[in-house]
Structure 1
Amino acid sequence: MTINQLLQKLEPTSPILQANFGIERESLRVDRQGKLAHTPHPSCLGARSFHPYIQTDFCEFQMELITPVAKSTTEARRFLGAITDVAGRSISKDELLWPLSMPPRIKAQEIQVAQLENEFERHYRNYLAEKYGTKLQAISGIHYNMELGKDLVEALFKESDQTDMIAFKNALYLKLAQNYLRYRWVITYLFGAAPVAEQGFFDQEVPEPVRSFRNSDHGYVNKEEIQVSFSSLEDYVSAIENYIEQGDLIAEKEFYSAVRFRGQKVNRSFLDKGITYLEFRNFDLNPFERIGISQTTMDTVHLLLLAFLWMDAPENVDQALAQGHALNEKIA
C-alpha cells in the first residue's frame, strides 16, 4: 500500500499537521559601513563550541543561530527571533548582522577561518578553504529542519502492513527526500533571494539573470564528480562511504545536498537505528524579514513537504533527481 493510500485511510481527526521544527540561520557580522567585521566571536557568549544556540560557522565573522526543537513553525520562528535579539545585543554596538545571503564586497585574504577549540573542526574548515575557496564559505542561508509527528507516523504505521517501524520511518523520509530534490526548484522559484553578487566575487561574469546564486551551481556545491544516489538508503550510505574511502570527501558532512538525513552520528546507523528528521538546506536569507525567514515561508514549506509525502515517488529515482537538478539550475 502506498503512502498516499495510507494517508487517505486516516481518520479525519488524525494529526496530519503534527511535526517538530528547528531553524539554523547563518549571518555575517559587518560594521556600519557594510564591511566585514574583523572582531572575534563575542566573548560574552562564552565558549562558542558549546553554546547551544549561538555558534560560529565557517568564518570568524559568520554567526550561526540555532533554535531548539519546537512543536510548531510559529514557536520555532519565535525562538529564532529571541536568539537573534540576543546575538544583536552581544555583538559590538558598531556591528550588524548582514541581511543578505550573498556577502558584501570581500577579498579572499580577509576571510579568517573560525578559531575553534576542536582540532578536527579547525582542520576541516582549513581543508574546505583550500578545496572550495574561502569566498564561497561566506555565503549564508537558512536550514529548515522537520521531524514528522510521532502520532502521525504511528497512525500511518498502524494502517500499513509493515512490521518494522524503523524501516517504515526510513521509507517515509526517503520518499520525502526524493520528492524534495525532484521539486526543489519550487523552493528556489518561490523563495530565491540571492540575485546579486558583488563585483569580483566570481572569477567570471554570469551573463544570464539570476534568482539565487546560492542555490545554483555557482553556489557552495560539491565537485561535479560527486554523484550520490537517493534510490535507496543503502545506496546513499554506501556512495558517501566510498567517496570518503577514495579521498574525494573528508567526512560525511562534506556532501552538500539540499536535503540531509539527520539524527545519527554516522550515516550507516540510519539503516538500523533510523532517520530522526530531515534538514533542508536551500533557503536564502529573506532580506525583508528581520530574522531571515517569514512565517508564511515556514508554513508554505510545511504544506509542501506534506504534499511531497503524498505524491508518488519517482520510478527512476536517479534520472528524476537529475532532471530536478537541471530544472532547479534553470530557475536559479
Structure 2
Amino acid sequence: MSLSFTQLLSAFELDENINALTNFGYGVERETLRVLPQGKLSDKRHYRALGSSLTHPNITTDYAEPLLEFITPVSHSPEQTITQLEDIQKFTLSEINDELLWPMSMPCFVDCEDSIELAYYGESNIGKMKSVYRQGLKNRYGSMMQVIAGIHFNFSFSQDFWLKFQSFENNELPLQDYISDKYFALLRNYKRFCWLIPYLYGSSPALCPSFLKGKNTNLPFKKSPKGYVYLEYATSLRMSDLGYTNSEQSSLHICYNNLEGYVAGVQEAINLSSDKFAKIGVKVDGKYQQLNANVLQIENELYAPVRPKQVAKSGEKPSQALLNRGVEYVEVRALDVNPFSPTGIELQQVLFLEVFLAYCALKPSEELDCDQQNTLQRNMDEIVVRGRDPQLRLNDCGVEKSVQEWGVSIFEDMAYVAQLLDKANGVDKYFKALTIEKEKILNPNLTPSAILLDYLNNQDGSLTQLALENAHKFKDDLQSRDYQFFNYEYFKEQAQLSFQQQKQIEESDVLSFDDFLKEYFTK
C-alpha cells in the first residue's frame, strides 16, 4: 500500500515515529589539485608523508598524482563530517611544503596535457590495474578532463527509518529488498529534481583558456576582460560536454526502476564493445593502453550524477556488491567544489542535501521509461550551460516551467520535510538552510555562478588570483586551528600502516598481471 507524500509526513510526525528521522549517515569525498604558489599544477609525486594512495583510508589520489582525494569516514552528524574534512586537509597542508589546494572544480593553468602524470599505486596487480584504467581514460578522453575536481556526498537513512517506512506501507518484502526498492525510488526522484543542485551550487561558469586547447566545442563562449572564457548563464561547465561526459555512453540504457535492471544495464555496458575505443588497442607493443575496448573499462567509468552504492569486499565489483547485499547508501556526484569554502563544501550545503534527499525518498516516485530519463537528462544539460537564463524552460512531465516556477513548488514541498527534520533533531537549522537556498531560486544573482561571473566581468577579476587568494586564506585558517576529530599522530600512524598494507598486497600476488586481468573480467 503506497502512501501519499502528506500521509507519510503525518505518519513520521507522530511521537512514536519521529526519532526515525535521526541518525542518518554522512560522508564526503573531496577532490582537489595540488598547485604551486603561482597557480600552476604541481609536478611533484604524491608525498610519502601522506601515506600509500592505494590503501590509506582518508587520503588518496584520483586520476593524476597531483589530484588528491580526501575521504571522511561515515558520520552521523553533518557538523562532524565537515570537521573530519577540515582535519584531513589540515594534516595534508602541513606535509606538502608550500603547495596549495586548488579551491575550484575546473583546473588551474596547465601548459600541456602530457605534463599531467598518471596516479601510481605501486606494483601489485590491483595497483597496476588502477593505473592502466587511468591510462585508458587518458587515451579515451584526454588528461585535461580528468583533472577536473568535484565533491561526492554519500548519504544513508537509518534502518529504523526504513522499518517505520515499511510498516506504514504494510509491505512484506524482505527488509533489504524493500530498502533497495526505496533507494531506487529516491534515485528516480533525484533524477527528476537534480537540476536544482548545479543551479544552486554550480561554481564553474568560466574556464582558464588553457583548458580548451585542442577541444572542439560549439558552446558560445565569451571572454572576460582578463581573458577567461565563460558562458553568460552557465552554472557548472564541469557537468557539461566539456567535463564529465562520455558520448559513447549516450547509447546506454541504464534503468533506475529496480536493482536488478540497473545492475543488468551496468554489466551490459561493461561487456559492450566500442569500435571507437578498439582503435586505441588494448596491449600495444607490450604495454597496456586501456583495460579493454568496451564502452566502460570498469563500472567506475559510468559518468552519472548519482549512484546507488554498497561497500564492496576485496575483489568484488560494485555491481556484485549491490546484487549480493542491496543498496546501502547513495552517492551524489553533481556537486562542484565550492570555491568559497575551505573544505569545498560547507555545512549549509550538507543540510540542504539532507532535506533534498529525504524529500526524494518521501515523495511518490513513478517508474521512468527511457524517453522520460532522456527528458530529465536534457533538463540537466540545459541547467549546466544556461541555468540562469530567464528564457529557459524545463520539462516537468510534459509541462514547460521556468526555473523559478518549478523551483518554488519543489521548495514548498521540501519545507515540510525541513520542519520535520528540525522537530526530530530538536533544532531549527534545516528550515533555515532551505530558506537561504530558496532565495537563489527567486534571485539568480545570488548563485555562486553569478557571483563569479560578476567578479570576472564587472570587477575586472582574475579567476586564478581569486583561487590563489582563497587557497592561501584557507591554508592559513586550517593550519591555525586545532585538530577536532583526528590528530596529527593518527595521520602519521595511518600513513605507516598504509605502506605496510600495500606491501602485503604486493607480496600476496600469485598471478601475472595478464592472468589477473583475465580472471577479474571473467568472474
Task: Quote the offset at 1:54 in angstroms.
Answer: 0.6
Letter in 2 for 1:193: S
Aligned-partner Cα distance in 2 for 1:292–1:97: 10
Worse-superposed segment, 292-301 or 228-237: 228-237
Cα deviation for residue 91 of structure 1 reads: 1.0
Q: Distance in 1 between matches of 2:202 and 2:62?
A: 22
Q: Does the alignment pair 1:180 with 2:190?
A: yes
Q: In 2, are the aligned partners of 1:230 and 1:317 still within 8 Å (CA)?
A: no
For the 8 Å contact 1:193–1:285, the answer to whether it is kept is yes
In 1, Cα distance between the equivalents of 2:131 and 2:121?
6
- Report the TM-score, using the length of structure 2 for normalisation: 0.61
1:245-274 deviation line (CA, Å, top 9, x unaligned): 122211112111111111143314423421
Q: Unmatched 5+ residue regions in structure 2?
A: 221-230, 273-293, 385-523
SS of aligned partner of 1:36: coil
Query: SS at 1:25's partner residue?
Result: strand
Large movers: runs of 4+ above 6 Å: none
Q: Give the Å deviation of 1:150.
A: 2.0
Q: Which moved more, 1:30-39 or 1:217-226?
A: 217-226
* Aligned partner of residue 112 in structure 1, secondary structure: coil
Matched, 1:217 2:221: no
1:104-139 residue CA offsets vs partner (Å, 9 max, x unmatched) = 121211111011121110111111111111100000
Q: Mapping of 1:52-71 within 5 angstroms?
A: 52-71=57-76
The answer on whether the counterparts of 1:19 and 1:149 sit within 8 Å (CA) in structure 2 is yes
Which of these residues, 151, 159, 162, is aligned with residue 171 of structure 2? 162
- Among 147, 151, 157, the alignment partner of 1:138 is 147
Q: Residues 166 and 141 (structure 1 numbering): CA distance in 2 closer, same or farther, change over 3 Å?
A: same
Shift of 1:14: 3.2
User: How many Å apart are 1:6 and its aligned residue?
Assistant: 4.4
| CA–CA separation in structure 2 for the residues paired with 1:173 and 1:25 | 23
Q: Deviations over 1:116-168 (max 9, x none)?
A: 12111011111111111110000001000001112211221233322310111
After superposition, residues 197-208 of structure 1 pair within 5 angstroms as 197-202=207-212, 203-204=215-216, 206-207=219-220, 208=231
- Corresponding pairs, count: 331
Instruction: Note if 1:252 corresponds to 2:262.
Output: no
Q: Which runs of 5+ in 1 are unaligned?
A: none
Larger Rg: 2
TM-score normalised over the length of structure 1: 0.95
In structure 2, what is the Cα distance between the partners aligned to 1:316 and 1:38? 46
Once structures 1 and 2 are overlaid, which stretch shifts more, 290-299 or 193-202? 193-202
Q: Which amino acid aligns with 1:243?
A: A
Aligned to 1:49: 54
CA shift, 1:315, in A, is 4.3
2:265 is aligned to: 239
Q: Residue 152 of structure 2 aligns to a residue in which SS?
A: strand
The percentage of aligned residue pairs carrying the same residue is 30
Maintained 8 Å contact 2:310/2:325: no
Matched-pair contact (CA < 8 Å) for 2:253–2:370: no
Root mean square deviation, CA, Å: 1.6
Measure, in 2, the Cα distance between the counterparts of 1:185 and 1:129: 29
Q: Distance in 2 between matches of 1:237 and 1:30?
A: 38
Structure 1 residues 86 and 323 mapped into 2: Cα distance closer, same or farther (>3 Å)?
Answer: same
Give the AA of the match of 2:255.
S
Amino acid at match of 1:102: M
Q: Tell me which residue corresponds to 1:84.
A: 89
Indicate if the aligned counterparts of 1:178 and 1:317 stay in contact, CA closer than 8 A: no
Give the Cα separation in 2 of the matches to 1:293 and 1:314. 31
Q: Quick one: distance in 2 between partners of 1:234 and 1:58?
A: 30
